[in-house]
Structures are given as structure tokens and as C-alpha cells.
A and B are shown apart, each in its own frame.
Chain A
Amino acid sequence: MATPKSSDVLGHVTLVTGPEEFLNERAVSQALQAVRHADEESEVSETTADQLSMGTLADLAAPSLFSTIRVVVVRGLEDLPEDTHEGLLQYAASPADDVGLVLLHSGGQKGSGLLNKLRKLKTVTEVKSAALKAHEYPRYVSGEVRSHGGRIAEDAAEILVQAVGQDLRALAGAAHQLAHDFTGEPLTAEVVKRYFGGRAEVKGFAVADHAIYGRTATALEELRWALDNGTAPVLVTSAFASGLRGLAKYKAASRGLREADLAREVGVPPWKLRTLREQSRGWEDGGIVRAIHAVAQADADVKGAASDAAYALERLVITVSESRIQR
């Protein structure tokens, strides 16, 4: 996104749309900065659209005693009352030269009619934020680092996303910190690990996998991370259930099947078979039975049969990893 100049904001309408609240905020602050850069005396007023009537808009846009240049930020455009639409469109078609109007819309269906009309106007520039897909986060990180004048290796960006999670604000903060602590040198995976090691966004599946491999300590550690990061306890138990289900079916499946048939029989994607093969070496039928009982009990426990979900899950992790063949 190109940084706007003050001439892009003043005498224009900046329309910020999209679901990513953080990116929207940034677009607003960039617009404000541009104007302030041009005139330090400029004034900013903020309001929400549901408070807005034509009278208040005129009021906000009127030159003040101290400064002629003003920026008006209107949040929650989707809540703009129907009878104000016409007035706003009229203003947007010929905005005052010394006033920059910034409109924020959170990207839903609501008020999309108004948006379409606004988009048709020449004076309106739109800044769109789209929700990022999982694979786009590393690119977002490297963009962030570059904006601070640094460089980051591709794998390092990926590690950072895994470590910090998919919160854009946190990612931007991390990128900012790294870029300023290591000015002039490229950010490598090693550097990222040193700063953000261990604090991964853990999914229930990771916990279950570690426990099934018998790595009790790692599994418990991951479980704590998962719960601290707000992973729902049910997701952990369901990950255990599907992991052990796959394991049981893999053990029970007849030998000598082709990979594809085996995957179908077990009910997992073919790439999962390798993991199952490794995991199954440490398991006997009796242990699997014990582990599945423990999962069913833990699932009931986290849904109200016991008072402490975290304890129930810890006990589950320990029971499952101890149900492996002990060497």
C-alpha cells in the first residue's frame, strides 16, 4: 500500500474498507500522518457514523478558529442512518479543499449500497484490507520488515508466524522489534528463534502427536501453550480421539495393502500413514484401549463432568503417553 500524500487526503474522501481492523487503523493513521506532515497545526475530529447527521458533518468539516485544515474520521460507516446517505454522497462528490474525510467500513454486507455509490465518485480513493489466508502471513511479515528497512529470510518469516500466531498487530510489533534490533543485517531463522523460541501457536493436534509419540514433557509443555493461547479444550480431546482412532485402525488394518488402499481403510490422508507407521511401533492393543478410554473420559470431563478442564487434559496427556510400551 503506497503511503498517501497530504494532497491525496485533503479535498478527497478516503474510504477504508475490509475486515482487518488493524490494517484499517493503519490506513487511517497514515492518512492522518500525511496531513500532519503537511501542516502541523491541522486538526482531527473523530465520530461514529450512527452519530452522524448532515448538521454534525457540516459542523465537523467547518474550519476552526485555529486551523483551516481538518481531517474528519468517521468510523462504522455501515451504521450510517439511511436519511444521511444522500447528504454524505453530495458532500463526497465535491469535498471542501481543506478537509480530508476518512470513512471506515468494516467490510460486511451492511451498507454496501452506499459503498458502491461512493466508489463511483472520482473524489473517493478506496483502501481495501482483505483477511489474510494462512500462507500469506509470512509475506505480510517480510513486507513489514521491509517497511522498516530490513530484510528477513523466507523460512525466518515462517518461523515468526508460527511463533507469534496470526494476530497482525502482534506480527507487526515483532517485525518492528526485530528490524530495529538488527539494523542492517538480514534476519535469519536463528535470530527469530532466539527471540521468539518456544512460544508457538500450538494446535491440539501437536499436543496429541507428542503424547502418542510418548514425549510426555514436550506434550505437557505444548498443552500449556495451547491452553494459554486460547485453544478450546474440546479441540485437544478431539485431536486425541482422531489420532488414536487412526492408530487403532492402522494397527487393525490387514498387512500387505497398497498405500492408497491402506489410507482409505484407515480413513486418513496418505501422507499421514508415515506418521502412523512410526507411532504404531510403540503401541500394543491394550495400551490403545486404555488410551481411548482416557480420551472419552477426558472429553466428558472438559464438558462438565470434572471441575478443572486443564487438569483433566494434563491427566489425559500423561495417561496416553504412559500407555505406550514402556521401555
Chain B
Amino acid sequence: MTTSPARVSGPAPGTGSVWDGLVGQSAAIETLRRAVAGQGMTHAWLFTGPPGSGRSNAALAFAAALQCEQGGCGHCLACTTALAGSHADVSVTRTDRAVIQVGGMRELVLRSALAPVGHRWQVMVVEDADRLNDSSGNALLKAIEEPTARTVWLLCAPTVEDVLPTIRSRCRNVVLATPSTADVADFLVRRNGVPDGIAAFAARASQGHIGRARALALDEKTRNRRHEVVSIPSGLTSLGACMNAAANLVDLAKDETEAITEATNDREKLELEAVYGSDPKAKRSRAYRAALGSLTDSQKQRARRRTLDVVDRCLMDLLSVYRDAIAVQTGAPGELVNEELRAEISTLARRSTPEQNLRRIDAIFAAREKMLEFTVPPLLALESMMLSLRI
């Protein structure tokens, strides 16, 4: 594999090209552009980076660049369809389940063996490659072990440890960095036309998670919800306050989940009814009830996972408050994540020691582990956590 810094053809970032959607990833983009130009191209890539750094966006941009005649101009049909997910030779797999099942993976492997419709590559993007289990991972391994000439696999995972070692060793790894606050703010201003002040706030508050930053910048409700969460610590003065804070946080997460999933759930139910017909006799049939039952089950599972995701995000926001408190206590340079709460955080910092705040951060991680790893009910885990955060 040659890595000599030769001249790279194809459009550079900042000219409306496919790379423009990536924030603060110049090193990774350079690698990918070289590959598109033919230097160090290989059949399997693993994109790793912290949540929100744009793993799947990077994979999609790379896919588009591979399909584009000019190496990723961002304007041609190949680029636009690939980025929109409708290119015939780019298949994107994402899941809202906890694991990718082996059946789905086998279908994908079969499809990957087809020659591309166009003249370039058959690109298989697997978002959430960390959700492959042993059997589906091994199904994928078979395909990566003996690649077809024109097939490229693009896998995305938070860290390389999240995929099977056998898969890892057959992929070229592209590491995405956590984008800096300035990069994120700049992106929000440039792409979404967000006013400077809000963009700066959103970039700080999101701590480098681009999707989150965009949501915070564009939606006032999201900003308000975050404000509610980061205001929790200064109110945790009594037993009752802690118990209520836990209950409120769970309610908040449930509300937000419902807002997201309700529309999808209703649509899925209508689709099911369309399949079975609206005839009351068909609705009484065993097949319909079984299908409805399994649909409701999977909807519930999805909602539970969503709620956990939302709670998890709230915990990260909560954690940032204690991080800031320690920063104030130790006189660390740089901005606070919650600059707008400086007064409250200073009070918190005066009334506690850095050790206490570190212990609070530990309590937050412990609660997180209980919920995600051992499925402790969120309310119980949060009650226990809030009591540890008591001032």
C-alpha cells in the first residue's frame, strides 16, 4: 500500500463536495480521497469514532465519492443519490434493534456478490457494525474473507473492539476524531444558517456530537429540555427532591420517546391493516392477531431502547455539570461546557470538593451501567443515582 504524499485528484473539501458534510475530520478525509484516487484502496473499511463524530456520514460520503466520476463532486447524479441512500450500487444497512440478525446479514452477503449495476463499485454500508452478534458477524466475515472484485464493505462502529477480531483484521481502519467546538459551531453556521451565539452554545453543549449539536441549535424544545436536565444538580437538596428528580427524568424520557415513536407506530399499524384488509373477519383471523402481536412487541422493544438512549443522553448532560464544577475547582483553563450556568456551577464548586464531584461522576456511570448492562429499571437506577448526587 503506498502512502506517499502524491498529488490527490478529485475535489477538495469546502468546494461543495461530498466531504463538506464531515466536521473536523481533515485527516480521515485525506485518507479517503487518496483511496478514491486509487492509492490504498481496499475491499473493506472500518470507520471508528465516538458517537456523533459522523461515522455513517463519512462512510456515505466515501461511498458517493467512489461512485462519482469526479471522485466526489457532490453535485452529479451519482453523488446525490448515494448521499440520499437511493443509489443502485450503494446499500445501507441500519437497524433500530439491539442486534443485527444473521438472516438479514446473509441476504446482504448474497447481494454483495452481485456485479454493480454501474461501472464502478458495489458498496455495502453497515452502520452499527457493533450490533453484529457472533453468528451474523461470522456471516459477514465469510464475505470479507473472499471478496468479490468490485465489492467494497464500509463498516461503522464506535471502536475497533466492537467488531470481531477476525473482521477487524481484514479491514482498513479509518479513525474519526471528536470534532472541536469551533469546528462544530462553524459547521452549524455554514450549513444550517444558525446565528453565531446559538451555534457556539450548541457546539459546547453537545461536546462534539454533531447530530446533537444540530438538534440543540435548531429546536428550542430540545434546548429547554437540556436546560431542565442541567439545572437538576443544584436542586438536589433533599431526599424528596432526589426522588422527584428521578421520576421527572424518566417521565421526560418517556415523553420524548413517545413524541418520536408515536407517528412511526401508527404508520406501521396502518400498513399492517392494509396488508390484511379492513374486513372485520380478516381482523379476527389468527394470522392478523399474531402479526399485530409481534408488531406491538417490536414497537415496545424499540420504545424501551429509545427511552434508554434518551436517559443516557440526559446522563451525559448531567455529567457535564460535574465536569464543569471540577474544572472550576481545579482552575482548569478553557471554556465550561455549561458556560451559561457559571453562577450555579461556581456555587456547587464552592460547596463541594473535587473528590465529591468525581464520586458523583462515578455514580452517574454506575447508574448507566446498571441500566444498559443489567436492565435495571431506569427509575430505580436513577433514584439511587440522584441520592448519590445529593448536595
Contacts and interface: CB of A to CB of B under 8 A. Distances in A.
Interface of A: 109, 238, 241, 245, 248-249, 251-253, 285, 288-289, 292-293, 295-297, 299-300, 303-305
Interface stretch (B208-216, B235-243, B341-349): B235-243
The residue in B238, B376, B390 that gathers the most chain A C-beta atoms within 10 A of its C-beta is: B376
13 contacts: A241-B380, A245-B383, A249-B243, A252-B240, A253-B240, A285-B238, A292-B383, A293-B387, A296-B367, A296-B384, A300-B370, A304-B374, A305-B373
A295 B114 CA distance: 55
Contacts of A248: 239-240, 243, 383
B101 interface: no
Interface residues of B, number: 23
A7 B390 CA distance: 78
Contacts of B244: 252
Given A249-B240, A299-B370, A292 B377 contact: no
Interface string B358-377: 00000000010110011111
B286 interface: yes
B243 A238 contact: no
Interface of B: 238-241, 243-244, 286, 367, 369-370, 373-377, 379-381, 383-384, 387-388, 390
Given A241-B380, A245-B243, A299-B376, A289 B387 contact: yes
B370 A238 contact: no
Contacts of B373: 300, 305
A292 B384 contact: yes
A292 B382 CA distance: 10
B374 A303 contact: yes
A16 B370 CA distance: 49
A285 B236 CA distance: 14
A292 B376 CA distance: 13
Given A292-B387, A296-B370, A296-B381, 15 more contacts: A238-B377, A238-B380, A241-B379, A241-B383, A245-B243, A245-B383, A252-B243, A285-B239, A288-B239, A292-B384, A295-B380, A299-B376, A303-B374, A303-B375, A305-B370
A293 B362 CA distance: 14
A314 B37 CA distance: 65
A39 B380 CA distance: 66
A30 B390 CA distance: 67
Nearest to B382: A296
Nearest to B243: A248
B181 to A, nearest CB: 35
A305 B369 CA distance: 10
B374 A109 contact: no
A305 B374 contact: yes
Nearest to B388: A293
A241 B240 contact: no
A300 B377 CA distance: 9
A145 B370 CA distance: 50
Nearest to B381: A296
B376 A300 contact: yes
A34 to B, nearest CB: 37
Contacts of B387: 289, 292-293
A296 B238 contact: no
Contacts of A241: 377, 379-380, 383
